[in-house]
Amino acid sequence: MLRAAVHRWLLGPLAKPLVFAVWLLPCAWLIYAAFFDRLGANPAEALVRATGDWTLRALCLVLLVTPLRVMANLPALARLRRMLGLFVYFYVLLHFLAYGWLDMGLDLDDIATDIAKRPFILVGFTALVLLTPLALTSWNGAIRALGARHWLLLHRLVYGVAVLAVLHFFWMRAGKRNFDEVAVYAAILAALLGWRVWRRFSRPAIRPQTAR
């Protein structure tokens, strides 16, 4: 009964607007905190770190949708997946903008040099580049234009993005030797990707019946 009620709510008119509003709240809080001096002694670092954290959280949630949909038998969850994926891109753009503006002063030459020089920034920038075609094709017309098979293949890039995101976070924390949060995100993403591998190889092979 509970599952049926959740399924009906997910199909209802309020599900998408509510999820959209909830995922805008972190951005609204950061804007408020920046204007009212609530970001601590180093506001630039706080903004860069917070937008990166929310990117990872959104990425974990996107990758959770399919396992949760299958295990809880809630096919309507798939309605939220593309919108959540766009929030991953939204927060990673904010993360890159905070770095480029607050750390580098929007100097494109300095940004390009920094990307080439520092591996953890190169990895993060690569993840942003890989996410861009996914964001640009997150609409129904793109599925029709690419074909469902090619669209699905393209959007599997998100698995590589997950690996790059954790590597970026790991290298960023390596200087301070603080890996506690890295371990949490790595464990979550490893479990979500591992579930997909397990499901792919645990499906029984479908063999055609022998004609009599």
> Letter for the amino acid at 168?
H
pLDDT digits (tens, 9 = 90+) for 133-156: 999 999 889 989 999 999 999 999
Residue 211 lies in a domain: no
Residue 68 lies in a domain: yes
* Residue 135 CB partners (closer than 8 Å, separation 6+): 85, 86, 89
Residue 76 lies in a domain: yes
Say whether pLDDT at 18 is over 90.
yes
Rounded Cα–Cα distance for residues 90 and 29 (Å) = 15
Residue 210 lies in a domain: no
CA quadruple 29, 22, 82, 201: dihedral sign = positive
Say whether pLDDT at 165 is over 90.
yes
pLDDT bucket at 179, cuts 50 / 70 / 90: confident
89: containing domain: 2-199
Nearest Cα residue to 1 out of 81, 69, 9: 9
- Greater confidence (63 vs 2) lies with 63
Rounded Cα–Cα distance for residues 206 and 95 (Å) = 45
pLDDT digits (tens, 9 = 90+) for 57-111: 999 999 999 999 999 999 999 999 999 999 999 999 999 999 999 999 999 999 9
pLDDT digits (tens, 9 = 90+) for 117-136: 999 999 999 999 999 999 99
For residue 157, CA distances in Å to 72, 117, 119, 153, 154 come to 25, 25, 20, 8, 6
Long-range CB contacts (within 8 A, 24+) of 101-106: 102/43, 102/44, 102/47, 102/48, 103/44, 103/48
Q: With beta carbons less than 8 A apart as the criterion, state whether 126 and 132 touch.
A: no
Residue 205 lies in a domain: no
> Letter for the amino acid at 43?
P
Say whether pLDDT at 167 is over 60.
yes
pLDDT bucket at 204, cuts 50 / 70 / 90: low
Return the structure tokens found at 163: 């690996």
Residue 207 lies in a domain: no
Phi-psi region of 37 (alpha: psi -120 to 50; beta: other; left: phi over 0): left
What pLDDT sits at residue 3? 84
The tally of domains found in the chain comes to 1
Mean pLDDT of 29-55: 94
Residue 42 lies in a domain: yes
What pLDDT sits at residue 212? 39
Say whether pLDDT at 23 is over 70.
yes
pLDDT bucket at 20, cuts 50 / 70 / 90: very high
Residue 33 lies in a domain: yes
Full-model pTM: 0.91
Return the structure tokens found at 87: 């929030």
What pLDDT sits at residue 157? 95
